[in-house]
Amino acid sequence: MKTTFEEMISPREDLSVSRKEELRKLLLERMPIILGNLTVILDAALEKHRHVSTATPPPSPTRDGDSRDSVSLFSTSPLHSDDALSKMFTSLHKDSLESLPLLDSDSQTTCLMALECLAHLFSWIPLSAMITSNLLSSIFHFASFGSEPTLKSSKGTELGVIAMTCINEIIAKNCVPADFEEFLLQMFHQTFQLLQRLTRENANSASGSMLAELDTSYIEKFTDFLQLFVSIHLRRFEDSTRFPVIDFLALLFKYTFKQPSNEGFYNCLEIWTVFLDYLNVLVKNRSVETHTVLDRYKEALATLVTQMLRKLQFRYNQSQLEELDDETLDDDAETEWQQFLRRCLETIAKVAELAPDDTFALVVGYVGGARELAL
């Protein structure tokens, strides 16, 4: 099937243009059936092995202690005032990313090939008219395989990476299906669940972070997804009561500061930059009053700046800072230390554009505290 798709997109040179268009049209007419069959293949593999799964299902996001820790980073979270998130997860219970079954070798190979077909198709078919909630849910289930270190030896990483490739194709194409609001709600919900998986603590890791145990390629794919999700879809749900953005930011905060590499950390800072730029545009265009933005995000922004300042100080981040090279210059004539410093300060400066007084007070407070400690 994959070979057929590839041949249809890059047919022989001796075919006429009209014949190429005819073949493409015929294939697109049958695409709903093809996508339906691929969905059945993926769902059947999950269902076949679900009964042998011995893993404990992840607790509800509104009851998970680790989730509460992440959300309590920002006390303005809707969870402190109502059960908006609980209602959201209840309404989408059928799409929950439950415990992951262990697939046998044949199922792994079949699912990998099915996901590769989807990734290829998603690169050229009109997704808005063809993507379904069932297919999206199935792909997210396989994306979560990459978030489990215990599945690395059973092609879990490969399944997770190719599934995230499919999801990124959907996001990058700005897919807008007919039931767009429900589609976006489902994607937000499943993104939230994946973030919970990725940011949970891991007692078996020296760093205590689950991310440190995962494959780098999967983390990169997931970070790419978050950047696409925030840059393309944030404006569509940021002011909606159905989407608890503060809770999402709390998990993004944990994901950012649990990154096992500097490059991963920098990529996450770019996501925050996209978000901060969006808020700045809202204010500058007078789409909303400045105080409205600050009232909603004040604590989240202050927490971000505080943690950035801690990352720059040896008393809070000595082990990482000591590993930074402060002698060798890269292609941009920067040392590792200079790049680290610049990236952190640029993020703080972005926040200062929105909340200059509060940011100045935090910076002065930390600089003053550092001086007192030195004395």
Q: What's the pTM value of the predicted model, to 2 decimals?
A: 0.84
230 in Cβ contact with 273 (< 8 Å): no
d(CA 125, CA 163): 17
**Tens of pLDDT along 204-260?**
665 567 898 999 999 999 999 999 999 998 888 787 777 889 999 999 999 999 999
Q: What is the DSSP letter of 16?
A: -
Length of the chain: 375
**Among 269, 290, 280, 260, which residue's Cα sits nearest to residue 346?**
269
Which residues are registered as beta bridge partners of 201?
Answer: 209
Query: What's the chain's average pLDDT?
Result: 82
Tens-digit pLDDT profile for residues 102-134 = 788 899 999 999 999 999 999 989 988 898 889
Give the separation between CA 225 and CA 229, rounded to whole angstroms: 6
Q: Is the pLDDT of residue 100 over 80?
A: no
- For 209, the 3-state DSSP assignment is strand
What is the pLDDT, as a whole number, of residue 274?
A: 96
Per the CB < 8 A criterion, the answer to whether 235 and 280 are in contact is no
**Displacement of CA 40 from its chain's centroid (Å):** 26
b/e per residue, 92-124, with b = 16+ CB within 10 A?
Answer: beebbbbebbebeeebbebbbebbbbbbbbbee
Mean pLDDT of the region 8-34: 80
pLDDT digits (tens, 9 = 90+) for 156-174: 899 999 999 999 999 998 8
Determine the pLDDT at residue 38. Answer: 96
